[in-house]
Structure formats: C-alpha cells, structure tokens
Structure 1
C-alpha cells in the first residue's frame, strides 16, 4: 500500500498501526495538502457485508460528533475492492503506550486523562452513540498535549439497547457484566469500561486476570471490582469511590451516562489536587495593636530579661529627699534611654536581616526552562519565591515542560514574591503564506518571519515554472506543507531550475557539455542507425527520473548514420546458390533469372547493384546468368 494513491486523492506514506478489521496508514490529502490517517479495511473482509456495514457505521457514528476530545472523521469511501475511512492525524502515542512505559499514573495524571475522555464520551452519549469498545488503545495522547477518543468501529445507536448479535464484541478485559451475560449494551456499559480503565491507570494492572477469556468474562459477571486503594493505599478515597460507582455490576447503580460521571469528577477535583505549599517567612511573633505590657514595676534590660523597678512613692519633702528623687529620675531616664537604644538597635538589626537575608531580601530567579512543572516549582520555592502556574505557546520547548518565568531567569526579585511559571503548550499554529510562484528571496522573506526555512533550497527542473521561482514548500517530513503549520517549524523550498536543456539534434560533445553544465549526469545507450540523423549526433535524450533534479541522469542515444552495407563481388566463379547465400547473410534480398533447381549448377555472371557499391541493408540484389 505504501505509495498507492487511494481514490485519486490520498497518497499513502507509511503504516501507523494494524488492527483486527483494518490497517491505519499515514497519508497526504493531495486536494487539501494536509496529513491524514486513512483506515483501510483488510482485503479478506471486503466481501463480508457485516464487516463492511460495521466499517461504514464507524464513519457515520464518528462524523456525527464534533468535539475537541473526539478524533475527527473527514471522509469515507470505496476504491475498487477497498473500503477506507479518512480521519484526523494525531502524532503521538496511545494510553496503552503510556501505561507500558510508566506502569501506572499518578492520581493527578489519571484525573486529567479521565476528564478529557469523559468530555468526549459525554458528547457521544448526548448524540445517542454508545462507543462499546473503550480501552487504553483507543485513547490517543497527541504530541501537542491533546487527548482524544477514537475508534468508533463498534459504536451503535444508544436508543435501542443494542445487542451484539451472535458474538461479543470489544475487548474482554473491559466488557460490562450485562454485555457478558445478556449481550446488551448502553451508555452505562461505556461507564463500566471507563471504570476498569481508571482502575488500571491508578494501579498499573487490570482487576481481573485469567488464562482464558471466559475466566475473565466470568469474573466480570459475578465479582465486584475491588477498590484501587487495596492495591495502593496512597490512592485518594475519592477515586476509590468513583471507580466503585462506575464498575457496579448493576447498571442502574452506575452513572446514567458520561455527563453524570464527568460532573462528579469535577466536584472531586479540588480535593484531588493539593494546594501549593506556602513557604514561611521565618519564626516571627507579632504583637497586635491593643496588647499591653505591664504598666508598673517593669523596665527593659539588655538580653531580653525583665527586672522590677521601684515606682514613685511619697518621700519626705526635705533636701535629702529632693536629692534622692532627682537621682532616681536621672537613673530612670537612663534606663529609658537604654531601652530606646536597644529598641532602635533591634529595629535596625531586624530591618537589616529582613532586607539582607530575610523575606524582604533580593534573590536571583533560577533558570527552570525545560524542567517539568513540579521540579521547577520546587526549585523556585527553595529559592524563596511563591509560584503561580500559567500556560503559553512556545515554538521550541516541548509541551508540558517549563518555557520560562516572569521575572525572567537571572533577574532579581524579593524573596516571598510571586514568580509566574509558564508551562509550554507547544507552538501555536499559523497560516502559511502562499508563496508558490514567487521568487525565492520573496518567499524566504515571507516565510522566515514565522517559520524556520532551510538555508539551501532544492532545485527541480520544470518546463512550466520560470527558473528561480518557487515550485513547492515542504514540511519537516518532506511533504507539501498544509495550510497551517507550527510557529518556527522547519520548512524547505523547492525552486525551479528551468527546463532540462534540449539536446536532440546536437553533436554528442555539445549535448554532453550542455547537460553537465546544467548539473545533470550523462550516460549513453548503444548507438543506433538512423537514416535521418548524421553520425555522432544525438537521436534521443531520455530522463531517468521525473521530476528531474540536479544530479539526476539523462541517457543519450547517438546516431551511427544510415545502415549502409558494401555489396560484395559474387560473380567470380560462384554458382547462383553460393552467391545467394553470401548476399542473404549480409542482409540483402536476392533475385535471379536462373530457376531455383539449377542455381547449384549455374555460375553467376551478372550482378546489380555492382560490387563495391554501398546500399542499405535489405536492398534487393539481382544475380543473373548471361550466356
């Protein structure tokens, strides 16, 4: 299939995945110049009307949905004996791939994925569609951070409580009890499968295992799914509750549809996401206004100790008493001055500590670019900052990693102040300017403002596009760039080198020089006779590649001139039979006035044309006997 053009529109590039009913390929929609995923039914199923109907049903079911968390379906059709489905192409991995790499996910990661899947599934249930094949393989995690639900190959209308017919469909590990026992599925069957998926994301394993599929099916029908926390006690009780609610054996006890489960999940989310820790500024005690120290018998001494001082009492009004009171007042004034000095010194020291090493001091914002958000948050908090998360587009930093801060790394900011931490959501997609047919320099100027254009353009010979004008713009995969493309994404130009130089009718040396001067290689076919082309002149110049680029090869066929042969002398004592044999071996036709039965006995005496003449091979030579 690689390289095949499907239905005159979709050029197959490579294989993405293979399933039980179909194989998915990466293809280019030549009409809209965009990459798509094309699902092609296996050839041995093409004659089975049941499978073909199910295949068409997938297109119709998915096409009814328009939701950010559901894979878009663009087209469906038949090319000869091949049924196909054209879908949105999402480069990335599946949830199954993620679980293989990490075994299990954190509660926060589980909630993120569950929220997206429930959102897409809620749209399906609202449209009256039951997915019936929910499993990690059908949850797509795109490179740009999007999460989408795909593969509605088993979807059916929800209104009829659809049964499977003669066989159970879907993956046995995620089948609901009612689908196992009665073959009946509705929206609540999808909820059960999603509950099993949630259990698997949290614990890294499925709740039921067995050596045979029927063993697993029996457990679904007769056992209750255990709480995930029985496998991992760190799992929050809210998620235990959600899994047990979704996997109840009685469908009437489950959420009625994905919308009900999504609403419950979002009620739980504030409890499942711990708030950011607050960094204490220091062990500081603040005395509120209105608090009072003792008003009597109290004074401040160095070292923070308290001592009792005598209060003013009545003294005898004599000279000795006056002197005593004056001395006491001076002593008390000294104590207050000492206290004031100590307070001012404390304030100065505290102020110096606050702005020098405490919360009010300046600290350098650390560089956190390309770190994961949790790690970057820890680094900033250890440097003394509060952290506020935000998102922004970044053409360089991969989605999910830190792309920068505000203030920027290296800048100074107050300890305890808030630093905004930007998490990359990947590059923004921009419209690609229409530059085909423009001079190369103009095209570079327009594209280079938003994208990264390769320094060297690919040259391609064209008899229709003037030399120096752009023929095509290619993306990083070497295919025609779509109408929108990631900011700063890599692009390359294909520029016309003009037509391949025409060399038919030129002397072979001139022809070779002209082609090699245009950057082409030359090889030679066997020379050929030609009645109309002189010797050593080019008869034909064949292109060995199409389109032709510098470095490609042109094969030249050179003329040997007309095919002439010298007529030998056959009337020198030879019989007519001997003359005939000699002439026919050289490619001539022979006639004679001697009867055939006498040719072996009669000696030829006259020939025409005469010996020594050069004539074309195949010319008729007359050999007669003249008495």
Structure 2
C-alpha cells in the first residue's frame, strides 16, 4: 500500500501573516506554496527551503541563514518586469523562506511538455524576455547559476492566454538561491555541483567557477531545447551528462530540425561555446545578438527562404515554422522589454510636420462634425453604441461570465470528472488526505465550494480521500521490547506489555507474539499487545507414548505435572498412551497440564450361536470369524454348551470353548 503523509504546512500561518493555501511545486532545493498575505490581502508565493538543504550544525545553519538573507535582500532590490519580485523573507521552524510575486501561468517546462518544441518566433520572444531579466541581474552583480525551463514562468497574456506565446509575459525566478545553498553545501559537504546537469556550463563542472557567462551558456541550452524539443546531452548518470558539456560542442539545432535557419544555429553556437571567453560577456550582450538575429529573420528574403524550406520538408510534430520578427512596436505595452522603448512617462503634445498644433486640429475637427446634422447623429449613435458596449461589458465581467460551482463533494473521482466535464469545468487535484468517513477516491473537499460563484469554464480544485488511514502491525517477533516499541511508534501505534510466557526458543524479554497478529491493519494510535518470553520453562515433559496410563500418571505426578486423559478408539491395547501434548522435551512450569491420548483397546466382536450344531461345523464357523476354539468331550458330537455365551461382546481373538456330546 502506497502511504502518503499530508503536508503539515497546508493551512498554517507563517510569521503571523502568510496563510499557506496550497502546494504549487516541489523542486530539488525548495517547495513553493500559494499563500494569502493576510495583512495586504493579496495572493503571494512562498518558497521554503527543504530541511535537507539546510546545514545540520547550528553554527553553520546561522551562516547559511545570514547568506540567504543577504541574497534575498539583493534579489528584492532587483526590480524588473521580467523578474519574479521578492517581497519578504524570514525563517519558519528554522527553515528559511522567501515571499515572492505569484505569477499566474505555467513554467516553460510545462509548455515544452505540452508542445514538445516551439517555432522560432515563439522561442525568440520568450528568449528575449529571459535574457532581459538575467541581464538586469548581471548589472546588479548577481549570477543566477541555475537557468533552466523550470525557473522560467510564462504568464497569462490578455491577448489569448499562455497559448499565445509571442505576447506572453516571461518572468525568471530563483535568482541567487542556488548561490546561497551552494555556499552552505561547500562548508558542510565539500564542493558540490548545485546546478541542473542538462544546462550546466563546463567551467562549473571543472572548477566550480561561475560568472555571467555561465548563465549565458545555460540560456543557450534552453534556446536549443525550445527549438529542438530536447537537450543536447543525456546519459545514464548525471555525472556523465555533466562531463559531456566539458568534452563536446553543442550540436547545431538544425541537425535535429533541418528547417531551422543558420542564424539560429549561430546564435546557439555563440552562447554555448565551451571556452567562456568565446561567449558573449553577459546576458545583455547576448540579448543584443538575439535582437539582431530577429531583424535578420524578419528580412523578406530570409522569411521566404524559410517558408520554402518548410514547404519542402515532410510533416513533423509542429509544422508551423514560419519565422516572423516581432518588432518592439508590435508587442503590447505591458509586455515590452526595457529596450523596446516602452510607454513614456509624462505627457507632451504631438506636433505634426507642418507645425500646426495637434490640439487645435482636434478642436477644429469637433467643430466641423457637430456643425453637421448627420455628424451629430453619428456622434449620438456612437455614444449609444459605446454605452451599450460598456453596459454589456460591465454585465459580462460582473455577472454574465459567472455561474455556480456544482456539488462534487462525496462523489467518486470518475463521477466528479464526468459532472465537471458536462458543466464545462476543468478539474485539478490537490494533495489527497486520509479520512475515516469518506471512502478512498471520493471527493473530500472542493475549491471553490458548491454553489459558489465561478467563471464559466473555470477550474475547480478537488482533494480526494485516501480512505481510512491504516497501518499493518509490523513483524517485531524476536526483538527486544524497546526496539519493538520504537518500530510501532514509527507507525503511530502504541506498544503494551502483555502476559509473559515461557518459550523454548527465544530468551527472556524478547517478543514472541503480538495481539493483533503481525500484518493485521489497525488505525493510527491503536494499541498492540506484545507478549514477551520468560525463557525456557523449568520442567521438561517426558516421553510417555507407548507407556501404560498408570506409568504415565506416575511419571507426570513425580514432575509436578497434571495429566489430562482423552480416550480414543485404537487397535492398541487398552490404556496404552497413544500421544501427548506438549510433546516430549517441551519446557513447562510445574502445575502445567499434559494432555494424553489413551487407547480404548480394540473394538469388541459378537460371539455367534453354535449350540445344537455339529461340533466340526461349529468349530469351522467360529474360526472363520477369528475365534480360537477349544473342544471338550466328543469332537464329533453335537454342541451342547459354549463359553463365552452366544451374542457376548469380546475382544477379537478371544478363545471360545465348546462342549460336544
């Protein structure tokens, strides 16, 4: 049975402020939760370092927390639209945590798992924003050290959700976290490679050195994966993958996807040179090269050539390979990079080339429109239409797009999925929990609750029941009481000493039996009685089989044991002992009962009537039934008497005497 323990942090309040609502993801160094900032009433993400990542020694733990705090302060000062903002930091139960901006969307890893690979305009749109974030960190003196798809978040775009990747906002997370954990690991465990081997730079493998060019290499591997749907190296062990980065050049993406243009091969090749000195100096330099590459891809000749190659190639998993440069002016203002020009602050009145004031021209236009009756009607109609649009928009966002959540609690998983599908809702599943009342795989909790307002086609989170929590009684026979008690405590069971008894095989103080028996499933907190051995008993039972009952009684009485007799049919002589329990050699204490199986003797045989028969005939009849015959007086006479008498019950083989005259 696969036993999962509920996450104890769910529902807890951290630092008197952050209420943990749900678990988002669990990585190698930390777990991320969604939480409500009860002070500011907003949803945030809380990242808590795993206990295994924090040093065990108290002095080293203090140093780790100091480094973690310093890194958190540095990250918090890193303000950029493509960087996940850090709001707060602290410790909870001795474990450091960060409070960060909650980004609604998916990780790049989840996008790639769904799409396998991206077309070039999507890949470069994401890559530019990644580099913009990393470049801001490099300018602030930070090196990410763990650039990978899991640390790249693709936020929902107003123009079409995460499916519209060109307009999606990309945010990079975990700046400086690997550095703080790595510094702690160096003190406690020696130099360890705190990076993901699929994206690790060669210099990190060989000498543990990291600078902005290390992030450039990892970013180049991420671009390679977005374009090809796979990482360049794999192996049976992580160390084999890491050393391939040292010993081999990253292949050109077009070797795996032939339709890709050479400019993308050059871009990946420049970023993933094994020699750090041959790479762009930092993410900002690589970003400039990416923007030049996008301009090249936007060239009509290049675009036509790529389109022709796509047409000539056989179908693949993603046939859309059209590369269209997205110029800064075409990106929505909320998604522009800092270098795009972005929205300007402050106002100034635009002046056309002829020098006429724009405001004056607008006033003149209004005067001309309002002077004409049809113009006034058009303006009135436009106002009415805008009013209707505003009203309908208000109704839609306030009421129209909502419905009520269905009742899914207590339904089975299959029933809930069918009902949600019929109503057009999407289901996600939280960590399941044990429950004594709700059967396994039935819905225990739903969020939002039934009859609560929810957007049509929205998402409902279900918590399924694992059923009653049960633990099998472990096999503790042969263990000392203390060890058996510890084994039971680990399974939330309570050990109780039962009555001890003698045992020929196990020494005193050792468990010889349990109640309930080993393997029986019991509730958490159930009591398990442990029966302990008193060692070998002082009296050894003698061998009584084959002896008469009288001899057996005398032998047992001398040893202070009590015979208990049970007669049974047997062809053995009457009162002969046929069996015993306990067997001979078994240790018992004085006063113990010894059960004896005693023979009733052979079954009796009925003597037939032979009186008045000729003596030879009577003798022949008796002998045929197994009776020996003794004849008195005249052997050829008539039988006048017999002993035993007719119809007497006698043991087989009893002699019959005949009197013949």
TM-score, L = length of structure 1? 0.44
Greater share of helix residues, 1 or 2? 2
TM-score, L = length of structure 2? 0.42
